[in-house]
Amino acid sequence: MRERFGDACRVRLGDGGTVWFVLGHDPVRSALTDPRLIKDWTRVPGMEGLRDGRRAIDHHMLDLDPPHHTRLRRLVSREFTPRRIATLESRLEEITRELLDTMTAGPERRADLVASLAVPLPMTVICELLGVPFLERDDFRAWSAVLLGAAGPEEEREAAVAMNAYLADLVERKREVGGDDLLAALIRTRDEEGDRLSGSELIGMAFLLLVAGHETTVNLIANAALALLTHPDQLAALRRDPDLIDEVIEETLRRDPPVERATFRFTTEPVRFGEVTVPAGEGLLVILASVGRDPAHAPDADRFDILRDSRPPHLSFGHGIHFCLGAPLARLEARIALRALLERCPELAPDTGPREIRHRVSLIVRGPERLPVRW
């Protein structure tokens, strides 16, 4: 049993293997910027020979280190810009209105908020942004749910193979017909030296943007709505002052972040976290969700409170070179969705008890499977 909140601890996994968890604000912040912790698993001693077997969807920034990460991020940042995100606001509002029109059209005055709003809004937005045809989105959502869930290895492999094949075909179609969407722009983009993304890198980047681009926001919207519905005093405060919506989002990111951990890192030499030293060659998971619950930085850390005198820190979008490119988009989508929902449904209330809410079974993301509401 651990005696300290922070530092690191070794955890035995269900398959019998072990991994190190890094927990708490200071250890997590340090781990996310420590060059001795690498992301590219093909650089780990004993795994170099597996490089040729890497799938195209694995060729993305999240599992790479400098200088390869630097190169990819530079190329993608040329197109995935704050300016492009800012132009989406009116479209986001339009999609949200349409979804709420559908949700509130029937006489039942009841709905599952996850299925009605939290999933279709970010899914529609990211697919439109990258140019994924409407009729193909359900398949992609199903594959994503398998890969981020707790499915068996065979089911995960089948989903990965199907997604890889689909994205390879999508990239080829974009090459032929072009367009003004983000994926078409990534195919065209070159830097000052003429460098561009390879075919595998385009597939990997499409995978990363599509999966991360909707899964994070799905759970951010659902977690924020759940927190408000189970804390009526906070919901009342927000109704009195709608400008507190940004505090709702940041408090949700602190207390119930949509992504619980970063992807694997590996130690290239012994690394010390407080009183614990992780040996070289070990797998390590940085637990992002532990940052906002660290009592040394967040007084009464388990309490959901949008009226705090000072905002405790969180690192729910990461830190350092791997900070989430889509953070501004996720915040914008959540802000628009929650504000529109509360305006449309002024008497919104939970339609089940808190103990009946079941969260997704996942080692990566966190959010309710369903969120029944009434109005």
Q: Answer yes or no: is pLDDT of 1 > 70.
A: no
Residue 269 lies in a domain: yes
Looking at per-residue pLDDT, the higher value among 90 and 192 belongs to: 90
Neighbours of 347 (CB within 10 A): 7
Over residues 311-339, mean pLDDT: 95
Chain segment 108-125, per-residue pLDDT in tens:
999 999 999 999 999 999
Percent of the chain with pLDDT over 70: 95
Predicted confidence (pLDDT) at residue 191 exceeds the cutoff of 80 = no
Distance (Å, rounded) from C-alpha 274 to C-alpha 272? 6
Residue with tokens 């269900």: 14
Q: Does any domain span residue 2?
A: no
With bands split at pLDDT 50, 70 and 90, how would you rate the model's confidence at 363? confident
The rounded distance, in Å, linking the Cα atoms of 11 and 5 is: 15
DSSP state, residue 242: G
Torsion of CA 181, 189, 161, 145, to 10 degrees: -50
Distance CA 189, CA 183 (A): 10
pLDDT for res 2: 42
**Domain tally, the chain:** 1
Contact between 322 and 32 under an 8 Å Cβ cutoff? The reply is yes
Residue 299 lies in a domain: yes
- Prediction pTM value: 0.93
Helix (H) or strand (E) holding 75: helix 68-77
Helix (H) / strand (E) element for 183: namely helix 182-188
> Domain limits at 30?
8-374
Residue 328's domain is classified under what CATH number? 1.10.630.10
Please check the confidence at residue 46 and state whether its pLDDT lies above 90. Answer: no
| Residue range 137-151: mean pLDDT, rounded | 85
Asked whether residue 3 is assigned to any structural domain, the reply reads no
Q: Is the dihedral of CA 210, 216, 220, 226 positive or negative?
A: positive
Has residue 1 been placed in a domain? Answer: no
What integer pLDDT is reported at residue 99 of this predicted model?
A: 98
Q: What is the pLDDT of residue 45?
A: 74
* Residue length of the chain: 375
- Name the band, by pLDDT with cuts 50, 70 and 90, for residue 50: low
Q: Average pLDDT, whole number, for the chain?
A: 91
Could you identify the residue written with the tokens 């914008």? 332
